[in-house]
Amino acid sequence: MVREPKISAGSLDLNKFLFGGYETDIITTFYGPGGSGKSNFCVLVAASQARKGNKVIFVDTEGGFSSDRFRQVHPGTKEEIEASLQNIFLLKPTSFAEQEKAFQELLIHVKKRDISLIIIDSMAMLYRLELGDAITAKDNEKISEVNRKLAKQLRSLNEIARKQNISVIVTNQVYSTFTQNSEDKNFERQVSMVGGDLLKYWSKCLIELQNYHGKRKLILKKHRSLPVKEFAFEIIGAGIRKRGLF
Ligand SMILES: Nc1ncnc2c1ncn2[C@@H]1O[C@H](COP(=O)(O)OP(=O)(O)OP(=O)(O)O)[C@@H](O)[C@H]1O
Ligand SMILES: [Mg+2]
């Protein structure tokens, strides 16, 4: 099967912003705080692919996948929507060990079922839980092992994307740190990703989501062929929509 170099993001506005949509041979990572829209972007691209009859693997580690939301963003009749839902293979690991197992099985799924898109929402949630236990126990060996395993999972996702020409969309949570500016002594807020350096390294496209007082913004932080730029948006019933400048 010959695949397009990009797949639709499931939103005309976002496709325009990304010059066609998500690239097919890389990992694209969305990161942002709770409620910033990460799962919305996942369900949009999933519905768009499923609607075309393409198969999607959706790894849901947080119970964030809502079939109701899927139905809202999917145009068409009830029958068409239910048929599209059949194209979504939902995997729900509840521990880092289960996530690892799910990832080992991905390649088999991809080959057997002709998958066009893999979504991991979110990548580092179960990692963080596993790491938290190791940190509490001050178990350095375990900490290294957990980090090694996350790196291995990302490496294999990257390999699947490149070799099979499949879009991989990953989401990730963030945490804030505050550092004091040495000149004006003001505190500056920095947003960092859980498992940050690893995810930054393995994602060729990085998208930050912000939501300050209901004003939502998407920032393209890293891309192979586009500059750093922003996109103000709102979440609506049918998906997402571009907003005017603030
Ligand atoms: N039908 C809808 N119309 C308008 N807004 C909606 C609709 N459905 C969901 N939303 C909004 O989407 C937002 C949640 O977005 P989403 O679940 O994508 O965030 P998230 O970044 O995945 O959060 P988390 O980190 O908690 O998983 C909420 O503010 C919610 O009000
Ligand atoms: Mg979510």
Identify the helix (H) or strand (E) that includes residue 209. Answer: strand 205-212
Task: Return d(Cα 179, Cα 177) in angstroms, integer.
Answer: 7
Q: Is 59 helix (H, G, I), strand (E, B) or coil?
A: strand
Our answer on whether the CB atom of 235 is closer than 6 Å to any ligand 1 atom is: yes
Question: Is the residue at 134 inside a domain?
Answer: no
CB neighbourhood size of 188 (10 A): 10
Domain count within the chain: 1
Task: Give the C-alpha separation, 182 to 187, whole Å.
Answer: 9
Has residue 143 been placed in a domain? no
pLDDT(109) > 90: no
Domain harbouring 92, CATH code: 3.40.50.300
Domain that includes residue 18, residue range: 6-125+151-242
pLDDT of residue 76: 96
37 lines ligand 1 (CB under 6 A): yes
Does a structural domain hold residue 213?
A: yes
pLDDT of residue 245: 56
**Residue 146 domain flag:** no
Record the pTM. 0.93
Q: Is 191 helix (H, G, I), strand (E, B) or coil?
A: strand
Domain presence at residue 78: yes
pLDDT tier at 246, thresholds 50, 70, 90:
very low
Residue 131 lies in a domain: no
Does any ligand 1 atom lie closer than 6 A to the CB of residue 38? Answer: yes
Eight-state DSSP code of residue 243? -
Q: What is the pLDDT of residues 110-161, one digit of tens each?
A: 888 889 999 999 999 999 999 988 888 999 999 999 999 999 999 999 999 9
Tell how far the Cα of 1 is from the centroid of ligand 2, in angstroms. Answer: 31
What is the whole-number distance in angstroms between the Cα of residue 41 and the centre of ligand 1? 10
- What tokens does 221 get? 């932080």
User: Which residues have a Cβ under 8 Å from the Cβ of 110 and sit 6 or more positions away?
Assistant: 57, 118, 160, 164, 166
Q: Does the beta carbon of 71 lie inside 6 Å of ligand 1?
A: no
pLDDT tens across 60-105, in order? 999 999 999 999 999 999 999 999 999 999 999 999 999 999 998 8
In a domain, 138, yes or no: no
Nearest CA to ligand 1 atom 28: 35
Ligand nearest to the CA of 58: 2
pLDDT of residue 165: 92
Q: What mean pLDDT value characterizes the chain?
A: 92
Q: Which two tokens stand for residue 242?
A: 């571009």
